[in-house]
Amino acid sequence: MRFLIIHLAVLIFTVSPMAFANTTLADDAAEKRAEYIRANYTKFEYQIPMRDGIKLFTSVYLPNDDSQTYPIMLQRTPYRVAPYGVSKYKTRLGPSERFEKEKFIFVFQDVRGKSMSEGEFVNMRPQDAYKRGKKATDDATDTYDTIEWLVNNLPNNNGRVGMWGTSYPGYYTSVGSINSHSALKAISPQAPIADWFFDDFHRNGAFVTPMAFIFFDSFDKQLDGPQAHREKGRDSIAPDGYQFFKDLGPLSNVNKHYFHGERPFWNELTEHPNYDEYWQARDVLQHLNKTKPATLVVGGWYDTEDQYGPLYTYQTMSNNNKKSHIKMVMGPWYHGQWNSTSGGKSLGEADFGFDTSAWFQEEVLLPFFKQHLKKADDAKLATATMFETGSNRWRKFDQWPPKDAKEHTLYLGSQESLVSTAVNTGSSEYISDPNKPVPHSAKVSRGWDRPYMVEDQRYAARRPDVLVFETDVLENDLTIAGAIDLDLWFSTNKTAADIIVKLVDVFPGKDENTDKVDAKTGNRHELVRWGSLRGRFRDSMSDPKPFEPNKPTKVRFDLYDVLHTFKRGHKVQIQIQSSMFPFLDINPQNYVENIFHAEEKDFVKAFHTIYHNADYPSAIHFSTLD
């Protein structure tokens, strides 16, 4: 036993000294950053009145140097502006440490009905105050009233305001541009929620069960009044999300066994399975047609929560505004990774070669806000600054998608082929069994995770319930830029189905420089993009309908934008399946009016078919760059 203890001690200190060193360095840097904030800023707390008399809790950090004026950086959040109390300081204020040293007035506000603010909280509140009258309020009017109070009451402000935030705070940033205050000069909506029927909890109608279950367990708890502490949900679901949600069974069991009807938004969500007026009213994109502040939309190619939001926020704003003040950045990031102090170089099994987050913070984000809030030099940002995965480099475009991209089509064929000319080769059938759904990841996780977005897909390609189509080995690089449009002919022997499609980069087995087997990445099947469609919504998200059994039916949808280079020697692969569990809920495959009310008996095994013949040519369409 004594030998074992000594052996373990030696093992610990010989295996990971670098890990200990990196942790220590990170802790030292964080402590120094916190000390700098305490030494150079003074904190104040206010209850700012809105036009209807409701007061919103707001914490303000003013630079101690009062020899000049400063712009205001405002963030509105439903996630608490803690710590509370004027003697308790945040350990980071700006999007990066450079912002704190550059000096801004930093303002953080609990939104209406959350934490220490008064009023009623409404998820993705419809922005319709301008229709309802002078005293009516919504998130846009709360932003306006807050900015009005700040510029008139905070000392040493220069009358210029910027907003930024990620995810839900990104949504509040977008909303701030609706009928915006004249002092709001620049905004950066980062991974902004745009429409919850496509972001976060739905993917073209399919439901993201673990994300919704875990998030709303705590976030959807109702407050009796303002409170500083965070609402807590259950400590954790089981670490094996696949088993946990499989054991859960139909989604109606969530209230039966866990929520007990005490999560109001969950209840509303389950009563609106279609894209009806309830969801349409919460689509913020409809209000972004004539925005005035300079805008920098930020998103991540590998953001599993909000990928729809940044892409469609940018497109909506740039199509309906003067494009010159609307910019976009997309990097190789998971949700919010661009804010990381030491990230951006890798994600899971993918390595991008350098710290892309630090580059973005230094070369893009800070210059953007300095230009518009401090009247500094022109940041000279491209309209679209996009990271090209596969080649691992930043590229700049004067519009997105690039105007010089060329249309390209690949057709699905027999023997798992993906070819440039339509062929008459019949069809491919696969099974979909609700009792053994395709995992969204080969790894055991709770079901809401991040590395799966670049995960090796060989585990899925080798399953009988996944179809695979791929090109021959590429003789030249192939760069795809923009959305991938799917044009599939599909049938099922039942009345309902999901269609899930993955775009995969298949690596060669050997390193071309050494002609040796590549032990690290040889034959890696790297996920580039995936997307889904709940088949009932193939013609309309608002008016679902069943499939007619065994009838070939055209199904069209798109995979969100990519900028990815398939290098020569690689292959382009498409995988098609009908489950992606537990990330997406299981389709019963018998048509029911509301899947949230489905019963055990509704879930059945089905056989699905993808056609690739002269009468029913299935294809994918995309644009390429030379």
Q: Where are the alpha helices (DSSP H) in 353-436?
A: 356-360, 366-374
- Residues 220-240: pLDDT tens digits? 877 777 887 777 776 667 789
pLDDT digit string (tens) for 453-511? Answer: 999 999 999 999 999 999 999 999 999 999 999 999 999 999 999 999 999 999 999 88
Q: Which of 480, 497, 479, 481 is nearest to 576 (CA)?
A: 497
How far, in Å, CA of 411 to CA of 419, rounded?
5
- Neighbouring-strand partners of residue 78: none
* 137 half-sphere exposure, CB direction, 13 A CA radius: 21
Q: Could you write out the DSSP letters of every residue in 165-224?
A: EESHHHHHHHHTTTT--TTEEEEEEES----TTTSTTEETTEE-HHHHHHHHHHHTPPPS
Model pTM score:
0.93
Burial class (CB in 10 A: 0-12, 13-18, 19+), 51: middle
pLDDT tier for residue 14 given thresholds of 50, 70 and 90: very low
Average pLDDT over residues 590-594: 97
Task: Give CA angle at 399 (528, 626), nearest 5°.
Answer: 60
Q: What is the pLDDT of residues 173-212, one digit of tens each?
A: 999 999 999 999 999 999 999 999 999 999 999 999 999 9
Residue-wise pLDDT tens digits, 23-39: 676 778 889 999 999 99
Share of the chain above pLDDT 90, in %: 84
Nearest Cα residue to 393 out of 481, 332, 303, 474: 332
Tell me the per-residue pLDDT of 422-453, one tens digit each, with 9 for 90 and over. 888 899 999 999 999 999 999 999 888 999 99
With tokens 């099974």, the residue in question is 431
Distance CA 384, CA 396 (A): 6
CB-based contact 285:177 (threshold 8 Å): no
The one-letter amino acid code at 458 reads: R
**CB neighbour burial string for 136-153, b if at least 16 within 10 angstroms, e if fewer:** ebbbbbbbbbbbebbbee
Quote the pLDDT of residue 320. 76
**pLDDT band with cut points at 50, 70 and 90 for residue 3:** very low
* Residues 250, 254, 260, 265, CA torsion sign: negative
Name which of 502, 519, 518 is nearest 560 in CA terms: 502
* Residue 498, pLDDT score: 98
The mean of the pLDDT values for the chain is 93
| Local structure of 342: helix, strand or coil | coil
Question: 478: how many CB neighbours lie within 10 A of its CB?
Answer: 21
- How far is the C-alpha of 418 from the C-alpha of 472, rounded, in Å? 8
Q: Supply 146's token pair.
A: 């807050």
Opening angle at CA 449, ends 447 and 453, nearest 5: 110
Can you tell me the distance from the alpha carbon of 316 to that of 149, in angstroms, rounded to the nearest whole number?
30
Look at the block and give the residue holding tokens 């920098």.
296
pLDDT of residue 323: 67
Q: Is the peptide bond before 293 cis (omega within 30 degrees of 0)?
A: no
| Residues 386/330, Cβ–Cβ less than 8 Å | yes
User: Tokens standing for 34?
Assistant: 């916190």
Residue 251: which residues within 8 A CB-CB, separation 6 or more? 207, 209, 270, 585, 595, 596, 598
pLDDT at 2 over 70: no
- 273-287: b (≥16 Cβ within 10 Å) or e: bbbeeebeebbbbeb
> What token pair was written down for 595?
């899947």
Dump pLDDT digits (tens) for 520-574: 888 999 999 999 999 999 999 999 999 999 999 999 999 999 999 999 999 999 9
d(Cα 106, Cα 74) in Å, to the nearest integer? 6
386-408 mean pLDDT: 96
Return the sign of the alpha-carbon dihedral for residues 458, 469, 584, 498. Answer: negative
**Distance of alpha carbon 224 from alpha carbon 206, whole angstroms:** 33
- Beta 326-331 vs 384-388: how paired, if at all? parallel
Helices (H) and strands (E) in the chain — how many of each?
Answer: 15, 27
Contacts 24+ apart (CB under 8 A), 62-67: 62/105, 62/154, 62/155, 62/156, 63/103, 63/104, 63/105, 63/156, 64/39, 64/40, 65/40, 65/103, 66/155, 66/156
Q: Choose among 448, 124, 129: nearest CA to 265.
A: 124
Is residue 159 classed as helix, strand or coil in its secondary structure? strand
**Cβ atoms of residues 279 and 271 within 8 Å:** no
Instruction: Report the C-alpha gap between 80 and 109 in whole angstroms.
Output: 8
Reported as type and span, the H/E element at residue 161 is: strand 157-166
**CA torsion, ordered 602, 607, 612, 617, to nearest 10 deg:** -20
- 588 φ, ψ to 5°? -60, -30
Of 13-17, 58-62, 336-340, minimum mean pLDDT range: 13-17
CA distance 497 to 555: 11
Cα dihedral sign, 130-133-139-142: positive
